[in-house]
Structure 1
Amino acid sequence: MARNKGSKPQAMKERAARTAAAVSPSSALAAGAAPKKRVGLLQFLREVRAEARKITWTTPRETWITSVFVGIMVVLAAVFLQLVDLILGWSLSFILNFANGG
């Protein structure tokens, strides 16, 4: 049986190493980047405030519509599950009655 080109153990190890290097994410420290410096409390609070300003809140109308939609979906799911439960219960009782000879 002929071996494929590059099927020697050393070639396989080299391919595995190249694949692992290409797949694995390189960390900032491994890439030679300096670690982030510590930020003071005031700077942190300023950044939090700036990010909080970017938040877009839903309008009361959008909140109401979404809430009604969720309520409708909950009712539909409850009705569906109740129907499935009834069908499975009837089926199981039919099978058990048939098995008992009745």
Structure 2
Amino acid sequence: MARKPGSTPQAMRNRAAKTAAAMASPAGVAQAPKKKTSIPQFAREVRAEARKITWTSRKETWITSVMVAIMVTLAALFFWGVDTFLQVGLSFILRLATAG
């Protein structure tokens, strides 16, 4: 299996050292120059990022919705069962306490 570029232990240590150095000094964060962008350039960048979005298909959305409905039903049945068990148990204990 091929390694990703920069995934060697030495490369990871170098990146960690750079990050630690930048976070250690408050000046390291402030040194990054802020780049001013115009409104048209911002709009172009937003459109470019929006083109990268991958939407789920209708089939994937349907399958996911059905799975969520099944899990909600199972969770509701589970909690209903636990609630019923606790209710019966507590009423039994209270009957014993008041009978004596």
Pairwise same-fold verdict (TM > 0.5): yes
Matched, 1:39 2:37: yes
Q: Secondary structure at the match of 2:34?
A: coil
CA distance in 2, matches of 1:95, 1:24: 63
Task: Note the alpha carbon deviations across 1:4-54, whole angstroms, 9 max, x for none.
Answer: xxxxxxxxxxxxxxxxxx598247x61262431221100100000010010
Root mean square deviation of aligned Cα:
2.3
- The residue correspondences of 1:44-83 to structure 2 (distance < 5 A) are 44-83=42-81
Identity %: 59
Alignment partner for residue 30 of structure 1, among 27, 30, 38? 27
Which of 1 and 2 has greater Rg?
Answer: 1
The structure-2 alpha-carbon separation of the partners of 1:82 and 1:38, relative to structure 1 and needing over 3 Å to count, comes to same
Equivalent pairs counted in the alignment come to: 80
Residues 35-84 of structure 1: CA distance to partner in whole angstroms, max 9, x if unpaired? 31221100100000010010010010000000000000011011011001
Query: TM-score if structure 2 supplies the norm length?
Result: 0.71
2:91 equivalent in structure 1: 93
Unaligned runs of 5+ in 2: 1-19
Name stretches of at least 5 consecutive residues in structure 1 with no aligned partner: 1-21
Normalising by structure 1, report the TM-score: 0.69
Runs of 4+ in 1 over 3 A off after TM superposition: none
Which has a greater percent of helix? 2
